[in-house]
């Protein structure tokens, strides 16, 4: 399953931002694709496009408030519990999904899948929609896992390099330290470009496993819905 890239970790850490405020689908491997897609309801533009009614808006705001309170409590702990984070994230995703109509859920799912890409095909819900066979699903998972290994290797190299940078005292100015971390991150741009090219190659390999009918279904699902504007 997809992970949160190292740069995203740096950004979220620096901003103190929870997943609910991400304008994109979170890379949370413990959530299903429908759950990850549901986080887009937190995006005001998506919420507006979904035309949520007053009852839905009230329920979604209450769910978000509960999520925020939970996140604050979790992060205030000396050692935040990963399990608690996962439960809190799943609770919000499920709360959002529970207030959406079937049509709204489908819209959110398509928006999410368009961001996640071919990796979404490994999710049971998406695999069922595309009618993947067990053999196809197994081959797709092998390709995804192989690609993730390459991602992990690059992120591991960056992480190790950053850990070697002496951290200043908490009360000291962090500017120089943050600049050094960003310099290290930027120094691996060549590796990230290689990974991006590899991702395109993997996408082609995955789509090559699909039948013409499955490919047509996938492309329809993968294409984000277009807002219908009044003339």
pLDDT of residue 2: 36
CB distance 3 to 30 below 8 Å: no
Whether pLDDT at 45 is above 50? yes
Nearest partner of 73 among 84, 62, 63, 64, judged by Cα: 84
What residues does each domain of the chain span? 1-116
For residue 1, what pLDDT is reported? Answer: 34
pTM above 0.85, yes or no: no
Q: Does 20 have pLDDT greater than 50?
A: no
pLDDT at 15 over 80: no
Alpha-carbon distance of 89 to 71, in angstroms, equals 9
pLDDT value of residue 6: 37
Mean pLDDT of 10-32: 59
User: Residue 226's pLDDT is what?
Assistant: 57
Full DSSP string of the chain:
-----HHHHHHHHHHT--GGG-SS----TTS-HHHHHHGGGGSHHHHHHHT--HHHHHHHHHHHHHHHHHHHHHHTSSS--HHHHHHHHHHHHHHHHHHS-HHHHHHHHHHHHHHHGGGGGGSHHHHHHHT--HHHHHHHHHHHHHHHHHHHHHHHHHHHHHHTSPPPPTTS--HHHHHHHHHHHHHTHHHHHHHHHHHHHHHHHHHHTS-HHHHHHHHHHHSPPPP----
Closest residue by Cα to residue 218 from 135, 127, 116 = 127
| Maximum separation of any 2 CA atoms in the chain, in Å | 61
Radius of gyration of the CA atoms of the chain, in A? 20
In the structure encoding, which two tokens stand for residue 154, read together? 């690059």
Residue 225's contacts (CB-CB under 8 Å, 6 or more residues apart) are 107, 110, 111
171 confidence band (pLDDT: 50, 70, 90): confident
Mean pLDDT of 44-68: 93
pLDDT at 80: 87
């Amino acid at each position: 399953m997809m992970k949160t890239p190292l740069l995203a970790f740096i950004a979220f850490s620096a901003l103190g931002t929870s997943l609910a405020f991400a304008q994109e689908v979170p890379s949370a491997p413990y959530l299903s694709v429908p759950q990850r897609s549901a986080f887009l309801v937190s995006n005001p533009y998506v919420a507006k496009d979904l035309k949520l009614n007053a009852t839905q808006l009230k329920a979604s705001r209450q769910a978000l408030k509960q999520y925020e309170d939970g996140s604050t409590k979790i992060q205030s702990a000396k050692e935040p519990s990963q399990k608690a984070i996962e439960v809190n994230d799943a609770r919000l995703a499920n709360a959002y999904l529970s207030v959406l109509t079937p049509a709204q859920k489908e819209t959110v799912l398509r928006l999410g899948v368009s961001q996640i890409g071919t990796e979404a095909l490994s999710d049971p819900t998406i695999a069922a929609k595309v009618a993947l066979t067990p053999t196809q699903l197994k081959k797709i998972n092998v390709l995804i896992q192989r690609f993730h290994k390459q991602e992990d290797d690059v992120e591991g190299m960056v992480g190790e390099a950053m850990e070697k940078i002496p951290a200043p005292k908490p009360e000291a100015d962090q500017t120089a330290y943050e600049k050094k971390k960003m310099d290290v991150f930027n120094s691996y741009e060549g590796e990230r470009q290689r990974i991006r090219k590899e991702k395109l190659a993997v996408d082609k390999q995955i789509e090559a496993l699909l039948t013409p009918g499955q490919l047509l279904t996938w492309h329809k699902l993968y294409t984000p819905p277009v807002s219908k504007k009044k003339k």
